[in-house]
Amino acid sequence: MAKELYELGEMPPLGEVPPTMHAWLIRPERFGPPMQAFQQEVVEVPAIADDEVLVYVMAAGINYNNVWAGLGVPVDVIGARNKALARGDQGEPEPFHIGGSDASGIVYKVGKDVTNVKVGDEVVIHCGRWDRNDPWVTEGGDPMYSSTYRIWGYETNWGSFAQFTRVQGQQCMPRPKHLTWEESAAYTLVGATAWRMLHGWGVNSVKEGDVVLVWGGAGGLGSMAIQIVKEAGATPVAVVSDEDKFEYCMALGAKGCINRKDFDHWGMLPHWKDTEGYGEWVKGVRTFGAAIWDVLGEKRAPNIVFEHPGETTIPTSIFVCDTGGMVVVCAGTTGYNATVDLRYLWMRQKRLQGSHFANDVQANEMNQLALDGRLDPCLSQAFPYDQIPDVHQLMYENKHPHGNMAVLVGATEFGLGADAEPTSALPHPTLPPGDVHTTPHPYPMSEPLPGIGTTD
Ligand code: NAP
């Protein structure tokens, strides 16, 4: 007879799903810093729908979204889901949140309509969910534009910080067998986001011979972007906050690096009528542009600028971007007010393009690189299961290393799961010892945006 509950690391026989499981839960009554918000509990294993899969989680990736979930800002994700359900929208009833938007694991149960995976398959999971019956999706529209689109493990419950996670079949992708469980869990969210940013925008998508400026080259997104750009036969130029990260970015494929601490023209644009202030800014941004030429050894502007810092860097990104080029942005880490001198935008016909995660096709295209051994997951640190709150607390306090982090869930030790040789040699660089984020984390979370700060 099946056991009621398996201890962590005690793997149930393949395909046997116990009624309950261990999980780290966030509840509204303890919203706050991660050490307060996350607590271990035993909960029922969720039932699955016909298009869903239950995956036994071996390791989970760490992302900033579950610091937000724990804080309850800018959105109370639990209240939002409960209210949505109450008014008949897509929602969920549980009064708690199990986070985790990245995972590696083993398929334990499949719904009757799932055709891409079977029980026993080793998978990594991308975090994009949507209603397959949404007319927009059935008519072939990009699911990323569907109103039913949700980020699993943040906007939905039952993420990867638990023994079992509930996902849609289409979220499952083959796991690179040359990687450990924790390495496999680390790259999908950032890798797929970077892939769509670079490959998802028609004529402006990255192509052989392009130059791409990558902000935060040693960060989660940036480390993926450098490798994806290199794979496309283009030239990545990385920006970082310290020369000690130059070697890391160059080992990943950057032609060269720029230390942003050598410049001080950051922030919102001075008003164009402020002749003196504007003149100073132009001087700063031109010097920065010249630093790009120095790296390239020629006077060329980037065809693509890979953006996520936002407020402090957007004016520079738009200025240095080539005529007809694209600044593609997926975040506003330093703030949301992107100031633009429209003269450069229209006269030089540049594109400022928003981008958010990725659809299943793009996630699989990115994953193919990882399967082929041509994408290093850039795992900087892995943690045991009982440190899920600690690792989020490190992020919250901005004391985490660059690159990507993961935690073990079902895997009993670090380093397990790498059962095959990679088909090509990974660069596998390491960050400088003791590396942590030096810029205080500026996510402006305490001031929710009008319209998204409510639980509706
Ligand atoms: P990360 O690992 O923390 O890296 C962020 C990088 O930004 C750091 O490496 C840092 O590098 C750089 N940075 C920090 N402050 C900066 C500043 N003032 N100017 C220039 N660069 C600065 O985070 P990540 O995983 O790459 O994610 C970056 C952002 O994208 C976050 O806001 C995240 O929430 C968001 N994101 C969005 C999506 C989406 O689908 N929309 C997906 C993934 C992530 P240096 O200090 O070395 O410069």
Using most ligand atoms within 8 A of CB, pick from 250, 264, 308, 312 the residue to mutate for ligand 1.
308
Residue with tokens 């780290």: 24
Report CA(161)–ligand 1 centroid distance (Å). Answer: 23
The pLDDT-based confidence of 345 (bands split at 50, 70, 90) is very high
With cut-offs at 50, 70 and 90, classify the pLDDT of residue 75: confident
| % the chain with pLDDT above 70 | 95
pTM (two decimals): 0.95
Residue of 197, 232, 196, 202 whose CA lies nearest to 324: 202
Distance CA 222, CA 215 (A): 6
Residue 94 Cα to ligand 1 midpoint, Å, equals 31
Token digits for 365? 């295209």
pLDDT for position 333: 85
Q: What is the mean pLDDT of residues 213-241?
A: 97
Nearest atom (ligand 1) to Cα of 245:
47
Cβ–ligand 1 contact at 316 (below 6 Å): no
Is the distance from the beta carbon of residue 310 to the nearest atom of ligand 1 less than 6 Å? no
How close is the Cα of 217 to the center of ligand 1, in Å?
A: 9
Question: How far apart, in whole angstroms, are the C-alpha atoms of residue 329 and residue 300?
Answer: 21
- Residue 421, classified by CB atoms within 10 Å of its CB into exposed (0-12), middle (13-18) or buried (19+), is exposed
Pocket probe for ligand 1: among 73, 151, 257, 333, the residue whose CB has the most ligand atoms within 8 Å is 333
8 Å CB contact between 332 and 341: no
pLDDT digit string, tens, across residues 253-269: 999 999 999 999 999 99
State the pLDDT at residue 334. 87
Is the pLDDT score of 149 beyond 80? yes
Structure tokens at 120: 């026993």
Tell me if 229 CB under 6 Å of ligand 1: no
CA atoms within 13 A on the CB side of 208: 1
Question: Does the pLDDT at position 398 exceed 90?
Answer: no
Protein residue with its CA nearest to atom 6 in ligand 1 = 216
Rounded to the nearest angstrom, the distance between the alpha carbon of 185 and the centre of ligand 1 is 19
